[in-house]
């Protein structure tokens, strides 16, 4: 068991998401940074989709009721175990009674706490993710509160070196595949969507201008501030399916990017779709930070997906090898 | 080099025995090696330097050997890989030379493929130095940092 000692609002249990029920109006939910969730799970010996805690409001403190292995990935929250500093993207063995604490990150937005075995909550429609809007999944369909106790599912033997070990962060390991701008503006790759042409020459500004993530942003979607982009002439659209990554352009002309708790349907014209493999970076972008959209292609998106799969595959293969190597050396 | 404990005092005392020093100097000379660092069981380093004038003829009668004892304790690479003084997700070192460090503190990293292993302090003290260049390849057990133990 783990016990939440201190938490802000909106911290939830998440896995990779709930799929196959969007036709019934069920949002997919799932981690905003699926890559950090996957890496955390692999470090503690889980399948990459096990349920973990997504922490986006701080400070967050947690006590372990039994010995286990935990990984902290995603945003660098200057994590501490009983006051002792831990590196980011780190996994380590913890003992019953120890307390882990996450402070407000300076750069990114969300941290993930993965436990060997995964969080024990009842799956709903095939997923343990919390659907805050639906009020189901995760821990009673709600966000975490102080004194909440969560079970951790049984895990096999997990060999972790003394002091723990970590993964190369994807920003570094995959730097060639996730370009960074010189001025720190997040570059988000997107592909023109269904109603792109209806914006005529205005659409060019979608790519050229720098957008700011407004305070009206959450797990459902990010509302972006910038110079408005208007349709050439007004259109009435039938409601249509919407998925995470869709960029809608409401009449205000300020873009909305649908995120993990995306609406399942909408009627605003779609100017673009963020490539799926860039959504984790958007999930780590903070309110008030700036981004630019970069025109991409299906071929590029698939190439980046392959690179990410290789990175995860490397971690999946190397974790048990490292454990074996350390065990062999300790016998010398 | 770690030795089995023998009768007649600690490894450190035995190494500083003149007769043993002579032997070591001979070995060094035969091997064409100028100096050797020996880590004793309590983690201390003894550096034995064979002087330029040493020859096999007169070493037995006139060993030209200097011994420097250093109290510093090594922080060793837990695995072979590339030394990272700064965590790749951070912009500064975990500890700088001269800084006080505590037991179990992580003061650097070794990158092995997609994974990162910690370089951990065993005993509180002061970070005396780092002998490895950032990014350089280190072997298992190589000394990366030296810690001057707290008094």
List, as one string, the DSSP characters of A27-84: -----SSHHHHHHHHHHTT--TT--EEEE-SS-EEEEESS-EEEEEEES----EETTE
CB distance A168–B115 less than 8 Å? yes
Q: Are the beta carbons of B89 and A325 separated by less than 8 Å?
A: no
Is B90:B75 a contact under the CB 8 Å cutoff? no
Name the pLDDT band for B37 (thresholds 50, 70, 90). Answer: low
Distance CA A155, CA A158 (A): 8
Query: B116 vs chain A: nearest CA distance in angstroms?
Result: 5
A15, A227, A293, B8, B87 from A37: Cα distances, Å: 7, 34, 25, 57, 20
d(CA B34, CA B31): 9
Six-digit token string for B113: 């493929």
Q: How far apart are CA A269 and CA A251, in angstroms?
A: 9
- Cα–Cα distance for residue pair A259/A47, rounded to 1 Å: 23
Q: Give the span between the Cα atoms of A281 and A171, in whole angstroms.
A: 9
Interface test with B, best of A35, A72, A92, A166 (most B CBs within 10 A): A166
Residue B48 pLDDT grade (very low, low, confident, very high; cuts 50, 70, 90): low
d(CA A82, CA A94): 10
Query: Taking CA atoms, what residue in B is nearest to A330?
Result: B78
- Domains of chain B, earliest start first: 11-70 (no CATH), 74-149 (2.40.50.100)
- The radius of gyration of chain B's CA atoms, rounded to the nearest angstrom, is 18
pLDDT in tens, A239-251: 999 999 999 999 9
Is the pLDDT at B3 greater than 50, yes or no?
no
Across chain A, mean pLDDT equals 95
- In the sheet that holds B35-39, the strands lie side by side as B35-39, B45-50, B65-70
Domains belonging to chain A, first-starting first, are 2-171 (no CATH), 186-296 (2.40.100.10)
Q: For residues A272 and A294, what is the distance between their CA atoms, to the nearest angstrom?
A: 11
Residue B106: enclosing H or E segment and its boundaries? Answer: strand B106-112
Size of interface A-B (CB pairs under 8 A): 73
- A171 sits in the region (left: phi over 0; alpha: psi -120 to 50; else beta) called alpha
Q: Is the confidence at residue B50, as pLDDT, over 80?
A: no
Give me the pLDDT at residue A229, please.
96
Burial (CB < 10 A; 0-12, 13-18, 19+), residue A153, is: middle
| B66: pLDDT strictly greater than 60 | no
Assess A211–B contact: CB distance below 8 Å, yes or no: no
Torsion angle in degrees (nearest 10) through CA of A10, A12, A16, A19: -80
d(C-alpha A39, C-alpha A35), whole Å:
6
Strand partners, A2: A64, A150
Contacts of B140 in chain A (CB under 8 A): 329
A309: three-class secondary structure by DSSP: helix
Question: Percent of chain A, pLDDT > 70?
Answer: 99
What is the residue whose two structure tokens read 């002087």?
B51
Task: Give the mean pLDDT of B82-98.
Answer: 94
pLDDT at residue number B47: 65
Yes or no, beta carbons of B118 and A164 under 8 Å apart? yes
A281: part of which helix (H) or strand (E)?
helix A279-283
What gap in Å lies between CA A101 and CA A118, rounded to an integer?
Answer: 19
How far apart are alpha carbons A35 and A41 in whole angstroms? 10
B140 to A165: CB separation less than 8 angstroms, yes or no = no
- What is the Cβ-side half-sphere exposure of residue A178, based on CA atoms within 13 angstroms? 24
Provide the shortest C-alpha distance from residue A269 to chain B (in Å).
Answer: 38
Alpha carbons A331 and A253: distance in angstroms, whole number: 65
User: Tens digits of per-residue pLDDT, A147-177?
Assistant: 999 999 988 777 788 899 999 999 999 999 9
Q: Is the dihedral of CA A312, A316, A317, A320 positive or negative?
A: positive
What residues 68-97 of chain B have any CB closer than 8 A to a CB of chain A? 78-79, 87-90, 94
> What is the model's pLDDT at position A138?
97
CB contact under 8 A, B78 and A161: yes
B51 or A191, greater pLDDT: A191
Mean pLDDT score, B18-39: 73
Q: Does A167 touch chain B (CB under 8 A)?
A: yes
Helices (H), A113-270: 170-173, 203-208
Answer for the pair A291, A281: CB distance below 8 angstroms, yes or no.
Answer: no
A contact test, residue of B88, B89, B141 with most A CBs within 10 A = B89
């Amino acid at each position: 068991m783990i016990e939440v000692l201190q938490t802000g609002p909106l911290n939830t249990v998440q896995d990779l998401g709930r799929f196959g029920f969007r036709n019934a109006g069920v949002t997919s939910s799932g981690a905003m940074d699926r890559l950090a969730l996957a890496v955390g799970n692999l470090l503690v010996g889980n399948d990459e989709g096990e349920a973990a805690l997504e922490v986006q409001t701080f400070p967050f403190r947690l006590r372990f009721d039994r010995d286990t292995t935990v990984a902290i990935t995603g945003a660098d929250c200057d994590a501490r175990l009983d006051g002792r500093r831990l590196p980011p993207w780190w996994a380590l063995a913890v003992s019953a009674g120890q307390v882990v604490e996450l402070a407000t990150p300076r750069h990114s937005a969300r941290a993930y706490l993965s436990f060997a075995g995964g969080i024990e909550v009842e799956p709903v429609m095939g997923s343990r993710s919390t659907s805050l809007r639906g009020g189901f999944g995760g821990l009673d369909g709600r966000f975490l509160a102080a004194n909440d106790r969560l079970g951790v599912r049984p895990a096999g033997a997990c060999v972790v070196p003394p002091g723990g070990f970590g993964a190369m962060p994807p920003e570094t390991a995959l730097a060639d595949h996730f370009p960074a701008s010189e001025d720190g503006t997040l570059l988000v790759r997107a592909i023109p969507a269904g109603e792109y042409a209806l914006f005529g020459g205005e659409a060019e500004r979608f790519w050229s201008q720098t957008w700011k993530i407004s305070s009206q942003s959450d797990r459902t979607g990010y509302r972006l501030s910038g110079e408005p982009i208007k349709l050439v002439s007004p259109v009435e659209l039938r409601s249509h399916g919407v998925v995470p990554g869709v960029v809608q352009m409401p009449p205000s002309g300020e873009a909305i990017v649908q995120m993990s708790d995306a609406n399942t349907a909408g009627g605003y014209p779609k100017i673009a779709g963020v490539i799926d493999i860039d959504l984790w970076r958007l999930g780590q972008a903070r309110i008030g930070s700036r981004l630019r959209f970069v025109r991409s292609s299906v071929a590029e998106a698939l190439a980046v997906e392959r690179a990410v799969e290789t990175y995860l595959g490397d971690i999946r293969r190397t974790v048990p090898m490292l454990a074996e190597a350390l065990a062999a050396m300790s016998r010398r | 080099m770690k030795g089995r404990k023998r009768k007649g005092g600690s490894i450190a005392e035995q190494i500083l025995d003149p007769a043993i020093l002579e032997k070591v100097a001979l070995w060094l000379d035969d091997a064409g090696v100028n100096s050797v660092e020996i880590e004793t069981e309590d983690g201390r380093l003894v550096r034995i330097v064979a002087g330029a004038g040493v020859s096999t003829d007169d070493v037995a009668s006139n060993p030209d050997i200097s011994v420097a004892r250093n109290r510093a304790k090594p922080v060793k690479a837990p695995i072979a890989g590339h030394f990272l003084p700064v965590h790749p997700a951070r912009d500064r070192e975990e500890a700088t030379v001269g800084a006080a460090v505590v037991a179990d503190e992580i003061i650097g990293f070794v990158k092995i493929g997609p994974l990162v292993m910690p370089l951990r302090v065993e005993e509180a003290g002061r970070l005396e130095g780092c002998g490895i260049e950032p990014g350089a390849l280190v072997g298992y057990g190589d000394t990366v940092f030296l810690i001057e133990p707290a008094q």
